[in-house]
Amino acid sequence: MFSSIAYSSFFLSTIFLTSLIFQSKAQLNATFYDTTCPNASSIVRSVIQQALQSDIRIGASLIRLHFHDCFVNGCDGSILLDNSANIQSEKDAAPNTNSTRGFNVVDNIKTALENSCPGIVSCADILALAAEASVSSQGGPSWTALLGRRDSLTANQAGANSSIPSPFESLSNITAKFSAVGLNTNDLVALSGAHTFGRAQCRLFSNRLYNFSGTGNPDPTLNSSYLTTLQQICPQSGSGFNVANLDPTTPDTFDNNYFSNLQNNQGLLQSDQELFSTSGAPTISIVNTFSSNQTAFFQSFAQSMINMGNISPLTGSNGEIRSDCKKVNGS
């Protein structure tokens, strides 16, 4: 039995440790820029809505930047850094090269924010705000982004190659990568629902169309008429950089049709369809729930975006507020 003094000491130590673990989350808050840059959110939204006029894909591209940023060293804006003498850019990592896009819009947002409140809003927070504005501008849920991240001084190209989930991976591998950053199975299914809009290049799924896992045949979980459509978009000898809609039903609207597509064997990426077609997987019941209840999906998606945005942010005096999202200050 603990003595009362020992118990009190143990209890206080436990509280201290718990506070350390959650400190980074507690330092992000919804009112971070209320006095220093009160129009930050509306400025971000305005630039994105303008960009959507000429590029309907941009919302999906911006949310992907936030996702690929957060999975590598946390949500620190490291994905935005270009190559330099001291930095191997994450843009050149396999999951990002010739694939990630929207950097020009991030630069436009940064310019607008610097004009309004110079030196205040981090590039990492721009990605979090841009993700919310992109989703809510295209029919999806709105949420209050937690803010106060600072920008990294380094990038981690090797981490980008190893930590970002791949469309070719098994569900168990992808689940492990989510778990490694503190996200659970519900987060995995909800965040995968971001594939309700946007495009994917043929090279990311053409293995399913002709020679799946070395069988010489298409992926058996692909709907046959959908297979024919995709083979026309992605001929066997064609460019791997042609694009197909991630959601064939409502390609530019953020809704729950992604999950109905999975039930109809119309998931575009292997990593999409696995959520529903992996025998006995805990993801199947979540797909079914989100397919039948868009409100449940929207609520889960918003919470999972907040959860993802909480991955290891730099706060306080760590990192910096970059004046140019592409490079570290003074470089």
| Torsion of the alpha carbons at 91, 89, 135 and 183, rounded to the nearest 10 | 110
Q: Which residue ranges make up the annotated binding site for substrate?
A: 165
SS3 track for 48-117: HHHHHHHCCCHHHHHHHHHHHHHCCCCCCCHHHCCCCCCCCCHHHCCCCCCCCCCHHHHHHHHHHHHHHC
Q: Which residues of 204-243 are buried (b: 16+ CB within 10 A; e: fewer)?
A: bbbbbbbebeeeeebbebbbeebbeebbeebeeeeeeeee
Indicate the annotated binding residues for heme b.
Answer: 195
Annotated binding-site members: 69, 72, 74, 76, 78, 90, 165, 195-196, 247, 250, 255
* Single-letter amino acid, residue 150: R
Cα dist from 27 to 148, 177, 307, whole Å: 7, 25, 14
Q: Is 66 a catalytic residue?
A: no
The one catalytic residue among 57, 68, 91, 322: 68
Q: CA angle, 187 as apex, 185 and 189 as ends, to 5°?
A: 70
Helix (H, G, I), strand (E, B) or coil at 319: coil
Q: Which residues are annotated as a binding site for Ca(2+)?
A: 69, 72, 74, 76, 78, 90, 196, 247, 250, 255
Q: Which of 66, 81, 62, 82 is nearest to 147 (CA)?
A: 66
Q: Which residues are catalytic?
A: 68
